[in-house]
Chain A
Amino acid sequence: MNTLRFVAAQAWQEFRAGCRGPLLAIVFPGLIGYALIVILNADYMREMGATEVPRNSPHVIYLMMAGQAVWILFVWAWLFGLNVVRDRNASLHEVVLSTPVSLPALLFGRYLGALVLSTLLPVATAIGFLLVPALGALGIIPPDAVGPHPWFAMGHSLLLFTLPTAAGVGALFLCAAVWTRSVAGPFAVAAVLMLVWMVAMVVIRGGDASPAVATLLDSSGFAEIEEQTNLMTPREKAVAVVELTPPLLANRLIWTLPPLLLMAIVLRRVGRERLALEKSPAVRRRSAASPEAAPGTAAEATAPRLPAAATSWRRATWNEAAWHLKLSFRGWGTPLALAMLVATGVGGAFVHVVLHADGPLQPRSGLVEPMITDYFYLVVVFMAAAFVGVMARRDDRTGWSEISDATSAPVGTRVVGRALASLCLAFAFALTPLLAVWIVTALALPGAFSLAAPAPFFGLLLAPALMEIAAFVLLAHALIRHAGAAHAVSVICAFIIVVNHELAVTTYPPAEFGVPVHATVSEFAGWGPWMNHILTADLFKLAVVAVLLALAWLAWPRGTALTIPMRWRTALGRVPSGAGVLAAAGVVLAFGTHVVLHEQFVTLGGYQSEASETEEDAEWEKRWWASATPFSTAGGEAVVDVDPAGRTATARWRLAGVRSASGLLHGALPEGAEIRRATVDGEEAAVTVALDQFSLELGECGRRTAPNAEESGDTETSTSEAEGCTVEFDLTVRDEGWATHGESRWLHESGVWLRAADVLPTLGHDPDRLVRAPHDRELHGLPEDPADAAVGALTTAMGVAPAGDWRWTIRFASSEHADPSRQARTATAGQASGPLDFAAAWWPRKPLEANVEGVTAYHGSMRSNDVEVVLNDVTEMRNCVARMLGRAPHVGAVLQAPRELGGTALHGDLLWLPEHEGWDVAPDGFGHWRRRATLAAALAARQLADDAGLRKEPGEDWLRVGVPGWIGMECVRREDGRDAWLALHARVSGQVIEAFGALDAPAVSVEAAGDVPWIRHYTPLATAAWVESIGPAEAIAAVDNVLAAVRAGEALPQALAAAVGEGDARTLLGPPASSDVLVTESERTVEIAGQRWLWRDGGWEPLTVPIHVTQRYEDGSDERHRIGPVPATAETEAPFTIIDAWPSFERSPSDNVWRGEGGDE
């Protein structure tokens, strides 16, 4: 037989051996099943950017095929490891190695067989996607979600990603197997590759450090695919072909050729002796004092037997656990892995926290823990699965399992011993990030270093989740006798858990298996609001762990030649033992805790799945939208009594001069609110409540002088109270239940953070509840587009009630648990002449206060060093807004609000500044500029919304978000310079591009968009570009005209058209537009080029119109020069910036600048 035929024969045999094993039978259906889960889950597809594109879109195929290489690494490690280990496992290695065959040819043939198998495994995912048309035909997925078979993408990704990756890493696995003569080597290499992948994806790419370097380091190619597809529009995704960019080409070459070369060297040099021999002896020196040393052993060896002490199986169990745990940390493997994990964690934390794209941030407790947990999660999940798997299989060697089974130790001792060790291991992995937190905090912010503060986060949130995974892995190994199959099931499970963690496929917390409990810890509230929630959720997880371990105990195989009926009988026989008790205790505890969790999350907390939320919104639209009628009030008074200990607030809200064309007053109730009583002109009135919306019968008083809103839109306060009804609501609001995903609570005995919308109904109909996605509208039987509603019927854009003469008072009851003398609160009364909006806070212990220029900041001790900078920012930005608009709202106080509890906004005269937006950034750098822009935008938004009496009418986003956003950026430009402005512009541009890559619903126009992510980023940039065309002063004048017109009742689109012209108004409120100006230096002149696009049918369509741009010199003046049409040249007199003077967002602002002679444009 010639060498070629021999190699082919070996490859064929290896392939057949791989096919015969259970691995294929598990992984293949597993992958097909996973693909189906992905296809059937619209939310998941949305998370992958598959909105407005078929679910079998080519870009999804690319992402899935390359992305799975990360977890399938461990399956590949097994397959390639068997190239070397298979003979040894059958004790045939000496026989095989003594045959007169070429060892390199033998191993290479097997490598090829494993390579074919490894390449075919991921094809299962593609097969899953071939079922999409059938699912469409069966009506399981909507017809418009079915695209043509992505044959090219499948073949392309197979050849470009799967095959080269398998060839390269397979070569590394083979080398590792040769070196270690076991599968431990390939598994170690897989772990390292995964760690490298994590660094590439999370640290380098996630930290926006260098996409090219991330691409180079990522063995799967996933980073590059994500990089390319993230920037694609839906239309591009539907026909996506991943481009072989230079970094991708380099990546493919790096991950294929050097490993193959290494394998060639190893195969050429490997000798039979290396594969045949056992390890050489290595004597461990032991000290005489070693506890293991038995003094006088020789004498005792022949001594008569001592009477044996009574056996304690409990002690034996602990000994067994300690033995397994000790072995897991023996040698260099585990400590090295943990050290690498900590080292990369520290690096990741620096990139993600200290050098965050929106930073630099200050790594304080509360910020750094969740970030580092996210960073570590992927790796520790797989590590836990791998280490527990190894522990479960430790006795799985010739003869040893029989010896173990024949010992007198009860199965419980062996299983529970392993289980305890697994749980300890999971706990140790969970605490690994804590080391990284300590190191990062000690280095970057020594003042915030705390040994104790970060520990609960990992011990209480991450550890129970990892314990669930460890218990599941132990169960998998108990149930599945074949080690490879059990490892494969464990890894697939780990992968699904990671996907669920990343994409939140399951959102009901008890169902989030292996996912940490969600909690958001803030400086003031601390752990107080979370402890009941966390402890109950942890108990539930531990109950699940107990059930899984009990099942593992029941299923643990003992003996040989076991059949399924025998194992079943054995399991039943073990039920009366500790396993049954553990299972029963676990089930009872799980049931009991789940009852509590369900009550807290669903009954009290109002948890709904996304599908249920959409369904309820659809019902709301059907039930209430048609009844939207204009209404107005003259003002009134709200008195709110808050009982922090009881987590209850009661409100009496008197509305004066209430008028409604239909005689009905509508509004949306806050979460947990109940209308106890409502009166109209002193008489009790009927209130209908459904789907969190109420309708109050006003009777004739409401129609007495009803405004003709369609004609005049008059909702002003000038009307006297006598012209409408006097309405009084008595409400009770309970902030009960637990937040499913860590949203901070506003009402707790550890602090109250109250905004008007938390305690008072929001009057009118809220268009943000309308179902926007066409598919959802069709699914729920809604018309293609919602009917137009009168502007006067809609809710106020920023407040709970339209402009009026308002007064409000808040009274906080003393908490029994807090010393009255130490309690504190912000201002508890106020009045407003605009829309009703206010906020207040209460603390059981006084916060720190600081005052700059009459503005008081309430803050925690950890922010003492930042408060002055924050107050200066507030003052400077307020002054800037005042300079630009000619007025600015009064700011009485600044509040350090809890993390993730709302956004930066001015409620009344209290500036609400949550920790994550205002109190984490360092005093200098991009994050600081971003905070200043956010502050200016918040102040401007309040001013504009109040001036206009703005409702949530079509196009209001432009006035509420777009114009303030531009003002915020412009203030940063004026105060901090062009580079600061440019950095902000570039960051927001990137966010716009990302938002268009992950649309939840089709982007039709700004006017019809509603509250969607792209609006928040797009409208400020489009407004800024429009301002460039006319100049800031003219722009402000136009805005003032719009404000006046809207306040007078004119619809915003018409008011805008009148103020800025039909063309600009159409572009500002119409479909999204983008442009890309390029400034390049050419000898003595500067070349200016440009391109424009318009968003149509899910993609950017290039426009072929003459493009005029604006040139702005950096001389401090507002002077602009119009240049065009481009391409054009500009003189190199002084540094300048070019902006396309057209309402659109600039794709890459950094190349719009000429920095002057010698500058680094």
Chain B
Amino acid sequence: MPQKNEGLEVTGLNKTYPGGIRALEDVDLTVEPGLYGLLGPNGAGKSTLMRTLATLQAPDSGTILLDGVDVLADPDYLRRRLGYLPQQIGTYPTVTGRQLLDRFANLKGRTNASERRREVAGLLERVNLSQDADRAVATYSGGMLRRFGIAIALAGDPRLLIVDEPTSGLDPAERSRFHRVLADIAADNVVLLSTHIVDDVESLCERLSILDQGRIVAEGTPASLAAELEGRLWSRVVPRDEPLPEDALHVSAKPAGSLVVVEASSRPDDRWEPQTPRLEDVYHAAIAHGSRRREARVA
């Protein structure tokens, strides 16, 4: 059982960029040890939130507590416990994977040489890069680079791991391996996974939030969020020559046309079949609800 104050607690986080773009609006999050998913479309403010939580940028207001400690007042407390993998990492010239990982392990406080060497070797093994550890990082493929980034994020035994789109570019086997790594870490620590790959969150995360236009529009466990939509989702394959309904929650391509999912309290007509809510439906519904609420506020 998690102790009181354990985990990450975000309250009333706001951030507006100098150009006037409001990236975060009263964001509240409570993340207990374990894997926590953060879903949202592009531009929703996920990366801003991730960077803010990683102390890379300061919010205009709000608080962030890690295990009860105000990390805005004491960012080093968080940094000493943080593993961070940004959304994109480029190549790094003239240095091998082992050397670069060694360097970042040093920057993360592993200053004892033998301990650092052991950790580096373990991390490389963990992300399946042992065989390529002495290759120049500049020669790594995109997938290898992601794995390498994860190894760096894991260096220093982080209490809080923030990973932004970690599995994009990984093949299924690597992705599965990575899921296991994350799950392993999440057993004792807080792992915040930002992604737009709903399957990752669905299969890994105990809880999640959905972020849209800087606001949390849904929060809960995948099951509880899905339960809210139980009996309200309907789907059918709309042929190609037929217009798509305007209130579609989401549309996906099928061989015979488009599979359309709508939300309604009752079946729209006989062509629609009940849809068992999945996290993807929850995601789209939350975005749609958020939009409607904003429009209502504006009106």
Contacts and interface: CB of A to CB of B under 8 A. Distances in A.
Contacts, number: 169
Contact of B124 (A297, A414, A563): A297
A309 interface: yes
Interface string A296-311: 0110111101101101
Interface in A74-128: 91
B125 interface: yes
B265 interface: no
Interface stretch (B1-9, B115-123, B198-206): B115-123
A306 B85 CA distance: 23
Interface in A308-338: 308-309, 311-313, 315-316, 319-320, 323, 327, 330-331
Contact of A279 (B54, B87, B136): B136
B108 A402 contact: no
Given A282-B139, A297-B121, A408-B82, A559 B107 contact: no
Nearest to B23: A561
A408 B107 contact: yes
B149 interface: yes
Given A278-B91, A309-B115, A408-B156, A403 B104 contact: yes
A306 B118 contact: yes
B166 to A, nearest CB: 12
B157 A398 contact: no
Interface residues of A, number: 57
The DSSP consensus for interface residues of chain B is mixed
Contact of A560 (B56, B108, B110, B124): B56
A402 B107 contact: no
B251 interface: no
Q: Which of B85, B88, B94 has the most CB of A within 10 A?
A: B94
Interface in B236-262: none
A400 B138 contact: no
B109 interface: yes
Nearest to B115: A309
Contacts of B153: 403
A414 B104 CA distance: 11
Interface in A1115-1129: none
A300 B121 contact: yes
Interface in A761-806: none
Contact of A327 (B85, B95, B111, B157): B95
A599 to B, nearest CB: 45
Contact of A319 (B96, B106, B132, B149): B106
A410 interface: yes
Using C-beta atoms within 8 Å of the partner chain, give the interface range for chain B: 35 or more
Contacts of B124: 297, 301
| A interface: dominant SS | loop
Contacts of B157: 305, 308
B129 to A, nearest CB: 11
A410 B74 CA distance: 12
Contact of B149 (A285, A399, A408): A399
Contact of A280 (B89, B109, B118, B139): B139
A292 interface: yes
A408 B139 contact: no
A301 B107 contact: no
B98 A292 contact: yes
The residue in B81, B86, B130, B139 that gathers the most chain A C-beta atoms within 10 A of its C-beta is B86
B99 interface: yes
Interface string A413-437: 1100000000000000000000000
B76 A410 contact: yes
B57 A292 contact: no
Contacts of B135: 281-284
A316 B111 contact: yes
B262 to A, nearest CB: 36
B103 interface: yes
A286 B135 CA distance: 10
A327 B99 CA distance: 10
Contact of A398 (B90, B109, B110): B90
A409 B56 CA distance: 13
A302 B87 CA distance: 27
Contact of B108 (A184, A408, A563): A408
Contacts of B102: 292
Contacts of A414: 107
Contacts of A308: 109-110, 112, 115, 157
B51 interface: yes
A822 interface: no
A282 B94 CA distance: 11
Interface string B149-191: 1001100110000000000000000000000000000000000
A306 B94 CA distance: 31
A323 B88 CA distance: 24
Contact of B125 (A281, A301, A313, A559): A301
Task: List the 10 closest pairs (A to B, CB-CB), nearest first.
Answer: A301-B125, A399-B89, A294-B121, A398-B90, A297-B121, A311-B109, A309-B112, A406-B84, A409-B107, A407-B107
12 contacts: A91-B90, A282-B139, A300-B118, A300-B122, A301-B126, A308-B110, A316-B111, A397-B91, A402-B84, A403-B85, A405-B55, A408-B107
Given A279-B138, A408-B80, 15 more contacts: A278-B140, A286-B134, A297-B124, A297-B125, A302-B125, A313-B111, A323-B103, A403-B153, A404-B107, A405-B56, A406-B54, A409-B109, A559-B51, A560-B51, A560-B57
Interface of B: 17-18, 51, 54-58, 76, 79-82, 84-96, 98-99, 102-104, 106-112, 115, 117-118, 120-126, 130, 132, 134-136, 138-140, 149, 152-153, 156-157
